[in-house]
């Protein structure tokens, strides 16, 4: 099944929130049987008619902000009406379609079946609401919409950069599934949903603790649920990532319930403000060291009075590396109020942005594992 993703050109919000969106949306659509996803950018002030696209696109996803001509033209071409339930509710009703709800239960768009095509319109970046979108598409694709296709499982694996198919499947891995490597350093194991139970069990055993979800999900969303369920709070101390972990955590609605705050300690002086003992550690071990990372984590937890904290210090590049600590070297530490700790030393590959992004992903995983 072919899918067309229509996004507005010059969407400044996407430059502020690039962290987890597209890869997980792509994987979600693949789960539903999409085998080709094409993307087109349109001017938000230009009209768009879903029915002027290639008829082979059986699924069309449109991102159109409220008030834009793009959104108005889609509504007009689909010939539908929108209204709210009554004066005491803001729940959107869609004539002939179903409302698309975000994580707070607010209507942010709709999905409708027209001319044997499914068209979804979302007023937010579509990947922000992929869980609600998946539920709607799942129901419509397999409930009389005549768009049935092969479905897939998609399992998320921590630190999948060096993972190979032969690590999971003994022989002929292409017969079973494939690996998709993600920009955050994780991987997705994709295989047909009708795979026999024995092979699924063996795959789960091979992945072990690295398997953190059996459906596409951003780690910050998964961590939000775990923290909320456990009634735990967290804090962050960052050097080379300079607030990236905080940005990812705070991008989710409701994050103030568990996120105490963060400390960007780029300079050594600020590191010492966070924890007075760091000065001697920097002299003895260097600012990029496991000792300093642990002291930063302990300082952040104590200052914020959080239940847990994670800290990052490293060399993102392109300069600053050495033979002992090359570019991409990052030390991370996570601490729990009960005394449990985790430490990681990583050597990430790629650009400065990729090193920082992968380091933020590892930090979020460490909090997940420490819970």
**What whole-number distance in Å separates Cα of residue 89 and Cα of residue 95?**
17
Q: Are residues 272 and 339 in the same domain?
A: yes
What is 87-105 written as a DSSP string? TT---EEETTEEEEE-TTS
**What whole-number distance in Å separates Cα of residue 227 and Cα of residue 187?**
23
Yes or no: say if 123 and 108 are a contact pair by the CB < 8 Å rule.
yes
Rounded CA Rg of the chain: 23
Q: Are residues 93 and 225 in the same domain?
A: no
Q: Are residues 250 and 195 in the same domain?
A: no
Average the pLDDT over 197-212 and give the result: 90
Helices (H), 235-323: 244-250, 268-274, 278-285, 290-304
Instruction: Confirm whether 231 is domain-assigned.
Output: yes
Most confident residue range from 5-19, 91-105, 163-177, 186-200: 186-200
Place of tokens 């923290």: 227
Residues in CB range of 14: below 8 A, 6 or more apart: 7, 21, 125
Q: Are residues 291 and 356 in the same domain?
A: yes
Instruction: Give 260-275 pLDDT, tens digit per residue.
Output: 999 999 999 999 999 9
What is 150-161 written as a DSSP string? --EEEEEESS-T
Specify the CATH number for the domain of residue 288.
Answer: 3.90.950.20
Strands 57-63 and 117-122, sheet pairing: parallel
Place of tokens 């594992």: 369
- Read off the pTM: 0.86
Q: Are residues 273 and 193 in the same domain?
A: no
Name the domain boundary from 162, 194, 213.
213
Specify the CATH number for the domain of residue 201.
Answer: 3.30.70
Quick one: tokens of 128? 């922000």
Q: Are residues 251 and 303 in the same domain?
A: yes
pLDDT for the residue 334: 98
Instruction: Confirm whether 79 is domain-assigned.
Output: yes
Name the domain boundary from 114, 141, 168.
141
Strands 36-42 and 2-8, sheet pairing: parallel
Which strand (E) or helix (H) includes residue 74? Answer: helix 69-78
Number of structural domains in the chain: 3
Instruction: Give 217-237 pLDDT, tens digit per residue.
Output: 999 999 999 999 999 999 999
**What whole-number distance in Å separates Cα of residue 106 and Cα of residue 104?**
6
């Amino acid at each position: 099944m072919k899918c067309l993703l229509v996004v507005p050109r010059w969407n400044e919000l996407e430059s502020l929130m690039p962290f987890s969106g597209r890869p997980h949306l792509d994987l979600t659509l693949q789960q539903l049987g999409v085998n080709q996803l094409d993307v087109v950018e349109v001017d938000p002030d230009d009209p768009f008619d879903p029915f002027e696209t290639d008829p082979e696109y059986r699924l069309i996803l449109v991102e159109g902000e409220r008030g834009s001509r793009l959104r108005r033209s889609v509504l007009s071409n689909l010939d539908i009406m929108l209204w709210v339930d009554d004066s005491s509710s803001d729940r959107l009703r869609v004539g002939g379609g179903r409302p698309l709800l975000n994580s707070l239960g607010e209507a942010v768009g709709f999905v409708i079946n027209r001319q044997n095509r499914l068209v979804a319109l979302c007023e937010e970046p579509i990947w922000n609401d992929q869980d609600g979108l998946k539920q709607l598409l799942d129901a419509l694709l397999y409930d009389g919409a005549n768009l049935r296709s092969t479905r897939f499982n998609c399992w998320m694996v921590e630190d999948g950069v060096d993972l190979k198919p032969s690590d999971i499947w003994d022989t002929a891995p292409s017969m079973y599934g494939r690996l998709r490597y993600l920009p955050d350093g994780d991987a997705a194991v994709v295989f047909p949903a009708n795979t026999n139970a024995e092979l699924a069990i063996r795959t789960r055993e091979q992945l072990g603790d690295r398997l953190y979800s059996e459906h596409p999900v951003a780690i910050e969303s998964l961590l939000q649920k775990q923290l909320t369920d456990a009634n735990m709070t967290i804090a962050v101390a960052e050097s080379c990532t300079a607030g990236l972990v905080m940005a990812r955590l705070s991008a989710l609605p409701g994050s103030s319930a568990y996120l105490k705050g963060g400390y960007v300690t780029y300079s050594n002086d600020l590191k010492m403000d966070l924890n007075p003992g760091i000065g001697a550690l920097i002299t003895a071990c260097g600012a990029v060291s496991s000792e300093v990372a642990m002291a930063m984590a302990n300082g952040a937890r104590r200052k914020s009075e959080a239940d847990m904290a994670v800290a990052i210090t490293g060399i993102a590049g392109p300069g600053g590396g050495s033979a002992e600590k090359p570019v991409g070297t990052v030390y991370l530490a996570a601490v729990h109020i009960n005394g449990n700790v985790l430490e990681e030393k990583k050597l990430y590959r790629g650009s400065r942005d990729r090193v920082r992004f992968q380091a933020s992903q590892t930090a979020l995983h460490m909090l997940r594992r420490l819970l």
